[in-house]
Structure 1
Amino acid sequence: MIISAQEILDGARRQTGNKTVAVAMANDASVLQAVVEAENDGLIHAILVGDAAEMREISHDGGFSLDGMEIIDEKDPKKGCELAVGLAADGKAQFLMKGFVKTAVLLKALLSRPELKARDVMSHVAVVDIPGRDRLLFFTDGGMIPKPNSGQKEAICRNMVDLADALEVSPFRFGFLAPYADEESPEHEEICKRLGDLGENLHPLPSVTAEYAFRQLDGLVATVIEECNTIIKGLTLYTDTIFSGLIMGATVPVCLVSRSDSATNKKASLALGVLYAGGGRR
């Protein structure tokens, strides 16, 4: 069982296959530098899709080299995303990373390939290493679905469990965020019952407080996107929490990083993609 961000990074370094990421429109300074550093560190192998001339200009200005990097030159964002997704569809890449392109453009290219479809719902799963905790916390969904309905909530739970499986977290205990521990939620109780097909090592709870989750659980499900975003942003701004995350729901995950992410957070997200690629999917 992987219990820390350091173990995510170490696991990615040890993994010998399924380490190729296709970066859609890699001509973004923060993304490009993170990818180059991660490749030099042995975490990944990258295929850079995007404006090659701009990439070389970025690397020159940033003082790092693209020597030896695999580059596919494409200036058009739509075509660049289609090329990156095509690499995944052909088995030449095991996960994707968003560069200088809107998330919707990349996801549209991904959803256009039925062979890459896993579920009808895609969601973001954050994996955070919080100081003082003895294990990682999985938190969803802070990036895709503003206010999920019952079916979407079930799907985002399954996406989160897929990622927990890849990190060998078992048993996996999680709950739906609520203001009170004894708050009744027939909807969440029914979802928990439907998740029973995932096995006896899964322990979902219909209502949990944030305090209980931070102290006792492995995962937390937000009922609206703002809950997840607020908590994660507070942790990363004011503590030494290490953040990583993936968009789940397709056969290949999508790695997202922001310009404000630390170098460690960016590497952790890339390493998380490697571990999921190596761990398979339900």
Structure 2
Amino acid sequence: MKRHGEEIVHAQMPSTMRSNGNKRAMAKMNNFLSTNTVVCPPELLRQAQAAPTPRVAIARAGAALPMEAARDATQAGIMEPVFTGERALIEAEADKLDWDISAFELIEAEGEEESGKAAAFACGEGRADVLMKGHLHTDVFMKSALNRDAGLRAGKRLVHIFHIGHPSGGVLTISDAAVNVSPNMETRQDATREVVRLLHLLGNDRPKVAFLSATESVIPSVPSSVEASELAAWAKAEIADADFSGPLAMDLILSPEAVATKKLIDDPVAGQADAIIVPDIVSGNAVFKSAVYMAGGCAAGIVMGAAVPILLTSRADPPAARMASAALAAIVTAANK
């Protein structure tokens, strides 16, 4: 049974059920998918390589994907791994990669819960600077991160941010598409603060932040439009060195042509947003996956608000996205010290 927070992966359709009609339907849907090669944004990687190398506690590292991600990030000079989990599994995966890990700390732990706890406590005790999800379920991992005894709670709400780079250049930042299901106004305020802080760290001196709805007008029957207007007014009064606008629909967030058609050319954010604050996880998840699967974006994900950055890697992440996430964590860690 799939646990909460995991991606749904459908089994391959049996050959007896594949008809020409099904093949045509699949081909038609695939026309919307990008054929771009996913690339870790070069500037993100350069900035991470210029920062001190963070120690990254990998919760239950003994599986192919987390070990490959750790190896790649270590070789790129943006991670010093701290492995937690079953020693035999970790060493076996390292051997498959022909990677000598004898110089790195390995904390033995059995199973998901103990491995998650070991990684979280390593961060809370100052033995690691970043907490990274390995081969364990998301709910178990986050429970470990939120364990009061681990010392990672910093009195702030946890918010997830995707920094999505396009292969041809350009960045779009989205919060929250992975952690908070129905964030209240206070959580979205925290998300806005964290997004602006992150973009400042990445060199954007005055980021443009849009609050997403289905309309640019405040309509009482569309609650997200009312909330977006309130959030924009709050942000303008409370957060310096950034521009804010809302409500804005996606066309007005991304398209200068739509902005000109709807005569919003005086809006400082419309048509040129750097970041989107979404009203719920459904819209955030749809926007993020559209940017990845339809535009070929490279999504670096990070959870902010804890004592250390938290990396929620997914089985569906390509190597470039895993590298970008590690780079983002290195940049944030350097700023926190």
Same fold per superposition (TM over 0.5):
yes
Contact 1:125–1:246 under 8 Å retained in 2: yes
Deviation at 1:64, TM superposition (A): 4.1
Q: Which runs of 4+ in 1 moved over 6 A?
A: none
Match of 1:236 in 2: 292
Partner of 2:157, secondary structure, is coil
Match of 2:328 in 1: 272
Match of 1:262 in 2: 318
1:111 aligns with 2:151: no
Match of 1:162 in 2: 197
Amino acid at match of 2:62: N
Contact 2:41–2:167 under 8 Å retained in 1: no
Partner of 1:23, secondary structure, is strand
Amino acid at match of 2:119: A
Amino acid at match of 2:51: Q
Partner of 2:132, secondary structure, is strand
1:10 aligns with 2:40: no
Match of 2:18 in 1: none
Deviation at 1:49, TM superposition (A): 0.8
Contact 2:215–2:247 under 8 Å retained in 1: yes
Structure 1 residues 74-85: aligned runs within 5 Å = 74-85=109-120
For residue 127 of structure 1, the aligned residue among 134, 158, 163 is 163
For structure 1, the 5+ residue unaligned runs are: none
TM-score by length of 2: 0.75
Partner of 1:228, secondary structure, is helix
Deviation at 1:199, TM superposition (A): 3.5
Match of 1:179 in 2: 214
1:227 aligns with 2:283: yes
**Aligned residues, how many?**
276
After superposition, the Cα gap between the structure-2 partners of 1:89 and 1:197, relative to the gap in structure 1 and judged at 3 Å, is: farther
1:66 aligns with 2:101: yes
Match of 1:140 in 2: 175
After superposition, the Cα gap between the structure-2 partners of 1:7 and 1:146, relative to the gap in structure 1 and judged at 3 Å, is: same
CA–CA distance in structure 2, aligned partners of residues 170 and 180 of structure 1: 28
After superposition, the Cα gap between the structure-2 partners of 1:165 and 1:251, relative to the gap in structure 1 and judged at 3 Å, is: farther
CA–CA distance in structure 1, aligned partners of residues 212 and 313 of structure 2: 25
Partner of 2:56, secondary structure, is strand
Deviation at 1:173, TM superposition (A): 1.3
Deviation at 1:91, TM superposition (A): 2.0
After alignment, is 232-241 or 87-96 more displaced?
232-241
Q: Any idea what the Cα deviations from partners look like across 1:119-174, whole Å, max 9, x if unmatched?
A: 442121000012455x3211011101222222222222223233223323221211
After superposition, the Cα gap between the structure-2 partners of 1:132 and 1:207, relative to the gap in structure 1 and judged at 3 Å, is: farther
Q: Any idea what the Cα deviations from partners look like across 1:250-279, whole Å, max 9, x if unmatched?
A: 121111222222211111101100001112
Partner of 1:47, secondary structure, is strand
Partner of 1:276, secondary structure, is helix
Contact 1:213–1:219 under 8 Å retained in 2: no
Contact 2:132–2:311 under 8 Å retained in 1: yes
Contact 1:123–1:141 under 8 Å retained in 2: yes
Partner of 2:93, secondary structure, is helix
CA–CA distance in structure 2, aligned partners of residues 238 and 140 of structure 1: 19
Q: Any idea what the Cα deviations from partners look like across 1:58-93, whole Å, max 9, x if unmatched?
A: 233445443433211111322222221222122221
Match of 1:88 in 2: 123
CA–CA distance in structure 2, aligned partners of residues 274 and 125 of structure 1: 15
After alignment, is 116-125 or 82-91 more displaced?
116-125
Contact 1:222–1:228 under 8 Å retained in 2: yes
After alignment, is 180-189 or 67-76 more displaced?
180-189
After superposition, the Cα gap between the structure-2 partners of 1:13 and 1:101, relative to the gap in structure 1 and judged at 3 Å, is: same
Amino acid at match of 1:96: L
Contact 1:174–1:213 under 8 Å retained in 2: no
1:194 aligns with 2:229: no
Amino acid at match of 1:143: A
CA–CA distance in structure 2, aligned partners of residues 140 and 6 of structure 1: 22
TM-score by length of 1: 0.88
CA–CA distance in structure 1, aligned partners of residues 252 and 302 of structure 2: 24
Amino acid at match of 1:178: S
For residue 188 of structure 2, the aligned residue among 137, 145, 153 is 153
Partner of 1:261, secondary structure, is coil
After superposition, the Cα gap between the structure-2 partners of 1:236 and 1:187, relative to the gap in structure 1 and judged at 3 Å, is: closer
After superposition, the Cα gap between the structure-2 partners of 1:118 and 1:172, relative to the gap in structure 1 and judged at 3 Å, is: farther
Partner of 1:193, secondary structure, is helix
Partner of 1:200, secondary structure, is coil
CA RMSD, Structure 1 to Structure 2 (Å): 2.2
